Amino acid sequence: MITATELLAKGELLEERGDYTRARRMYEKAFSIQERAVGAEDPELIPYLYSLGLIQCALENEIDAQRLLTRLLTILVREYGESHEDAEEIRGFLNELKPRRQVQAMTQVAETA
């Protein structure tokens, strides 16, 4: 049986090749296996949430990306503190997502008018 770590590595290879859709599938499988093994808020989920959140950004799935990165940030802050460099990096990604989601919402409103 394939492990979460192996699936994560396969996802990284697919991502490097630019196959983001297949990479996302590998990351989702890896995350699911790891979450079942360690629990929903365990720090061992950090690399899985990071990879899955960023691939969602690359695929422009902003809602999923925001949900995953927010969950990641919660774990990072709890484990390492507010000012940890990884927490700051994730806040930066989340801040970049906000304007993109606002533009999308305005575009949708304009299209329905």
User: pLDDT tens, position by position, for the chain (113 residues)?
Assistant: 899 999 999 999 999 999 999 999 999 999 999 999 999 999 999 999 999 999 999 999 999 999 999 999 999 999 999 999 999 999 999 999 876 655 454 445 445 55
Supply 81's token pair. Answer: 């503190």
Single out the residue of 39, 12, 34, 37 nearest to residue 23, CA to CA: 12
- The reported pLDDT for the residue numbered 101 is 54
Predicted TM-score (pTM) of this structure: 0.86
CATH number of 4-112: 1.25.40.10
CB 20: neighbour CB atoms within 10 A?
A: 18
What residues contact residue 96 under an 8 Å CB cut-off, 6+ apart?
none
The length of the chain in residues reads 113
